[in-house]
Amino acid sequence: MRKNRLSIFMGEKFIIKGGKPLAGMVEIWGSKNAAGAIIAATLLTDEECVLDNLPKVSDVLSLLKILEKIGADISWLGERKIKVRAGKNLDSEKIDTELVSKSRIPVLLIGSLISRFSNFKISPPGGDRIGIRPISTHLEALKKLGIKVEQEDDFYCFNTEDLKGSEIVLREFSVTATENLMMVAVLAPGQTIIKGAACEPQVQDLGKMLKNMGAKIEGVGTHTISIEGVTKLKGTSHQIIPDPLEVGTFLATGILTPGEIEIKNVIPSHLDFFIAKLEEMGVNLQKGPDFLKVIFSPNLKPTRIQSLPYPGFPTDLIPVILPILTQAQGKSLVHDPLYENRFNYTQELRKMGADIEVVDPHRAFVFGKTPLQGVRIESWDIRAGASLIIAALLAKGQTTIENIYQIDRGYERIEEKLQKLGADIKRVSV
């Protein structure tokens, strides 16, 4: 295994000189959010699983390290290809609490660990500073499957001896809760029906893998999923879907920087609503079966954006669109009902000259056009960091972005991809 990038990059920053034309081709790698559940699902069998198109971001590498520490055998077969064998000697007592606390992804281990252990405990996951992110939806649903859940000190404790299928109505379209329930239900006795299930691309990707492992599952990609439990799952090979959030980030990057950016290894349908909103604003896009091209679009119209469950506007692409809205002619309204701290990073954009009024924790007005000026700013979380990079590329002068380990959690070597497009961006040790 390679070293955890999270520990390596705590002391680095980006220095960006804005105003450069960007042009060329960028290739998208695997989805971080899909990889989390896919990796967790390898624990559902003691047979070998091969995963391809793996994003080598710090959150994913940390999850692999957690699996190794509990006894899974992981080997690299190529640049983005691994083999995982979670044999019969796994030890849940060896879960690395520190690694779990640094990312949201380990919450997905709950579903797969339930299928392997009658009793185990895990600490609450960490992740982005975008608001309160309890796992109460997960816990309430798991209890309906007969699982006993208790909280002791800083741990959630699970007893799975009475596990059985049941009908569950989720109180929100939670992606990770849906994924956890899918991983539990495929090996639970009886039938499980999940109503109010999320249907995001990463949920569909997990469903595809589980079916290839022998799961009896129907309705993935809709809001009602039906699962008939089986006694055993087999190993499989699976290629992780390209990251739609990375696609959205590079689309935003190319809107207001002179030139054309072609984005390859794309599933355009995963971003239908996002693309439609960009076109409504006046963005010049070209779409192919597995690529998107964005062309310099200086005359943007203001708009209203509300994040919605898939196939709506993704909440994680709200941050990357805000710098673009600062350059639209007029007032835009952005509404993110999910996370109450999603707009915290706007104070960093305001330091750059953006005219943004946060009306309440979930709504913000963005006024344009306003010129942006390079300053020293800090990344609050993964997508906020991407937002600041886009703003810095548009700004006059030099911008320094600190705390970039947050960006590395979700984007692999983003500065190298931008450099190939012509950006003046450097990673510098503090």
Does this model's pTM top 0.85? My answer is yes
Amino acid at 148: K
Which segments of 115-227 does DSSP mark as H helices, in order? Answer: 136-144, 175-185, 201-212
Q: Which of 362, 363, 413, 406 is nearest to 387 (CA)?
A: 406
Structural domains of the chain, with CATH: 5-29+242-429 (3.65.10.10), 32-239 (3.65.10.10)
For residues 224-247, average pLDDT: 98
Kindly report, residue by residue over 355-373, the tens digit of the pLDDT.
Answer: 999 999 999 999 999 999 9
- Determine how β-strand 167-169 pairs with β-strand 376-378: unpaired
Q: How far is CA 283 from the centre of its chain?
A: 25
- Is the pLDDT at 339 greater than 90, yes or no? no
- Determine how β-strand 330-335 pairs with β-strand 304-306: parallel
**Predicted pLDDT at 98:** 87
Whole-angstrom Cα Rg for the chain = 21
**Beta strands per DSSP E along 41-118:** 48-52, 73-76, 82-85
- 311 preceded by a cis bond (ω within 30 of 0): yes
Kindly report, residue by residue over 373-424, the tens digit of the pLDDT.
Answer: 999 999 988 999 999 999 999 999 999 999 999 999 999 999 999 999 999 9
- Is the pLDDT at 5 greater than 80, yes or no? no
Give, in order, the Cα–Cα distances in Å from 411 to each of 5, 33, 51, 52, 128. Answer: 11, 11, 19, 17, 14
**Predicted pLDDT at 10:** 53
Match 């109503």 to its residue by tokens.
195
Kindly report, residue by residue over 94-119, the tens digit of the pLDDT.
Answer: 999 888 887 778 899 999 999 999 99
CA–CA separation, 325 vs 310, rounded Å? 22
**Predicted pLDDT at 126:** 63
Tokens of 423: 């950006």
- Is the pLDDT at 347 greater than 90, yes or no? yes
Kindly report, residue by residue over 315-334, the tens digit of the pLDDT.
Answer: 999 999 999 999 999 999 99
Q: What is the DSSP letter of 395?
A: S
Kindly report, residue by residue over 147-170, the tens digit of the pLDDT.
Answer: 999 988 888 999 999 999 999 999
**Predicted pLDDT at 154:** 83
Element (H, E) at 407: helix 405-408
